[in-house]
Amino acid sequence: MKRNRSKAQLGILLTIFVLFAGTAISEEAHYAFTNRLAGEKNPYLLQHAHNPVNWFPWGEEAFTKARKENKPIFLSVGYSTCHWCHVMEHESFESLETARILNDNFVCIKVDREERPDVDGVYMTFVQATTGGGGWPMSVWLTPDLKPFFGGTYYPPEQFRALLTRVAESWKADGDKIRASGEGITRQLQQFTTRTPMETKPDTSLLDNGYAQIKTTYDPGYGGFGGAPKFPRPVTLNFMLRYYARTGTKDALEMSLFTLRKMADGGMHDQIGGGFHRYSTDAHWHVPHFEKMLYDQAQLACAYLDAYQITHDKFYADTARDILDYVRRDMTGADGQFFSAEDADSPLQANPTIHAEGAFYVWEKTEITGALGTNAADIFNFYFGVENSGNAESDPRGELQGKNVLIVLHTIEETAKKFGKSPGEIKTTLADARQKLFAVRAKRPRPSLDDKTITAWNGLMISAFARAYQVLDDPQHLTTATNAAQFIRTKLYDDKSGRLIHRYRAGESKVDGFASDYAFLIQGLLDLYETSFDITNLELAFDLQQKQNELFWDKERGGYFNTAGQDANILLRMKEDYDGAEPSPNSVSALNLSRLGEMLDDKSFRQMAGKTIATFGEQLQRAPSAMPQMLVAFGFNQAMPKQIIIAGKPNADDTRALLRVVRENFIPNKIVLLADDSAGQTFLGRHLDFIQGVKMSEGKATAFVCQNYACQKPTSDPAALSKLITH
């Protein structure tokens, strides 16, 4: 993802001044090269295994070489589905001339930001501080002691070669000064990242302030918050829908629903194969950046499920199913694990040696007519805005000329009126057309699949499938969530130490888990418990929360560090305080702690939740829209959540009838427990004395609705339960 660079911040002075001069023509490498990345299991590193650049993976071998030879390190960070990473590889890392400069003057290290977010976080902080922007590919120059002294993102090939030459010359001439500069820069970054924010205990006006701030960024024409490029950022929708549930503010609901509808109708939504692309390059959700990320699918599915619970509009349920069907079909492994991403680029069907962004997804009008026939194609093309000369207006690199990115341009009713058919006939025609075009598209070369399994992202996806079973009542969703959780427990959890592992691929489990792995998986396990009521999920969530507290909790200031602080090669120990494409582990943890505190009547968890929120109170007061998921956690923490306990047999019809009433309503501030008169109730009883006496009434499943463990009159009547939970 290419980002612009601007003036330096934090007063960091660089010792290198870059002269951009000279031109050269890159030579294509002929894959006659093999470097150390060939021994790795990571898909992104393997993509570079046959570059002429003498790449090393992040590790002691590279660090030792740099120290022994007194060479600076060139660190390149990206990920396997990143379009601009592919561009820079082709232009620079496959160039023999560029490789010669790199190999002669630097120790070159390649890092996957998804596998090593700790490494990425340190040097992205540096790049953002010194340039005012950041993104991937990220290019950073380090001293042999890993201290950064210069950095940026994507560089065009001629500029990159000139920069490499200048850096190499400067190192040879002024290496000691550059080392000193790197030391000074690192000290400033350490001071910046360890600064003590003023702990502020927020009040409920913070939620109103967050809503008001988010509302100012709303796009009334096309939905979404902010301008182009436009990201879905589901955490904002999470807050807005919960703000509506809390206050009844119609605008919060309407802004969210309109945004969800416009995204689903847009080109960012894969109208043929399902799922969502990463973001829209324009303001009207038309031309996307085409990679598909697991964490986007998970969070968007939950947002559409929330919308369906509120509105009971089939449109939102169908969109959620579309996302989940795509993930189950294309991003799920044979053992139940979820894969990470699909690439933005793919080979051209006419010439597979050439890759282009979006090649798998876009259409020429003649292709559609040939596949569907004239009559069906006319209907399809009108509905989806297909044009003879292509419809991709926002195409900065000219890769989509003559191509169409499908976008719902007319309603079913408008299409029916134009062609003199009933809406039902139009729906049938469009459904048949989608199936035919899916079959045509399946013959094209697919984008590459990043099939590594990330614990954190699997946690998010487990939540989505668990919640889908609750809302849509489709057993395969529960099976999918359960299988994924079992995979994590088997492959990415160490029973002896109680620790999580971050990544699995091709038989290899690697890298100690980060705070996000614990937070997102705990959330997934809590959602899965409230779905299946398998007590082992709640037990593991409880154990993992204790381990997360042990490894990541800041005992002095509160909140969670991203890393456990046990790797001396990671220069900065940071806390994530921004809810972006992924929520901050601190925001998710604050909600997890509150939920566990309610489920197990654990005061220490409740206190830690409050402390986490207060730790980020200053940021929340200043810019609440930057942490909408923390606002969600704060809302739950303040809400006196409903405790809904069902006494009944798992999967019995009367138990399911009561649960169905609970699940068809949008009640975000609640917990749901099952008193099953077996192992689950025994575990809960060790934490909640009162639940030991919760029993079915007259042999029927019985619901107890409580707040602060003071319960209303129990009922076995679904209609009576509905009144209790909605008032």
Number of alpha helices (DSSP H) and beta strands (DSSP E) in the chain: 26, 20
CA angle 272, 277, 283 (to 5 degrees): 105
What is the model's pLDDT at position 196? 64
Start-to-end C-alpha separation, the chain: 47
CA dist., res. 309 & res. 316, Å (int): 9
What is the model's pLDDT at position 28? 39
Low-confidence ranges of the chain (pLDDT < 70): 1-31, 195-199, 396-397
Handedness of CA 265, 271, 275, 276 (dihedral sign): negative
Tokens of residue 528, six digits: 């899965």
Burial of 394 (0-12, 13-18, 19+ CB in 10 A): middle
**Helices marked H in 194-265 — which ranges?**
205-215, 234-247, 250-265
CA angle 343, 344, 345 (to 5 degrees): 90
Closest CA to 86 of 290, 246, 265: 290
CA dist., res. 576 & res. 590, Å (int): 13
**Across the beta sheet with 148-152, what order do the strands follow?**
55-57, 107-112, 73-78, 138-142, 148-152
CA dist., res. 157 & res. 52, Å (int): 15
Q: Sort strands 449-450 and 107-112 into parallel, antiparallel or unpaired.
A: unpaired
Tokens of residue 342, six digits: 């699909």
Query: At the top level of CATH, which class does the domain 640-727 belong to?
Result: alpha beta
Instruction: Please enumerate, as own/partner, the contacts of 482-487 that have beta carbons within 8 Å and a separation of 24 or more.
Output: 482/528, 482/532, 482/534, 483/335, 483/336, 484/332, 484/336, 484/337, 484/338, 484/458, 485/524, 485/525, 485/528, 485/537, 486/336, 487/333, 487/335, 487/336, 487/337, 487/453, 487/458
What is the model's pLDDT at position 264? 98
What is the model's pLDDT at position 532? 97
What is the model's pLDDT at position 191? 87
What is the model's pLDDT at position 250? 98
For residue 13, report the phi and psi dihedrals to the nearest 5 degrees. -100, 125
Report the amino acid identity of residue 179: R
Domain spans, the chain: 36-193, 225-315+339-448, 640-727
Tokens of residue 349, six digits: 């069907």
Residue 121, helix vs strand vs coil: helix
Closest CA to 573 of 197, 192, 198: 192
What is the model's pLDDT at position 195? 67
pTM: 0.94
Report the amino acid identity of residue 79: Y
Altogether, the residues listed in the chain come to a count of 727
CA dist., res. 666 & res. 302, Å (int): 12
Report CA-CA distances (Å) from 622 to 19, 101, 584, 616, 693.
Answer: 40, 46, 17, 10, 47
Q: Which CATH number fits domain 36-193: 3.40.30.10, 3.40.190.10, 3.40.50.2300, 3.40.120.10?
A: 3.40.30.10
Report CA-CA distances (Å) from 118 to 112, 151, 511, 513.
Answer: 11, 17, 10, 10
Q: Is 640-727 in the same CATH topology as 36-193?
A: yes
DSSP state for residue 39 in the 8-state scheme: G
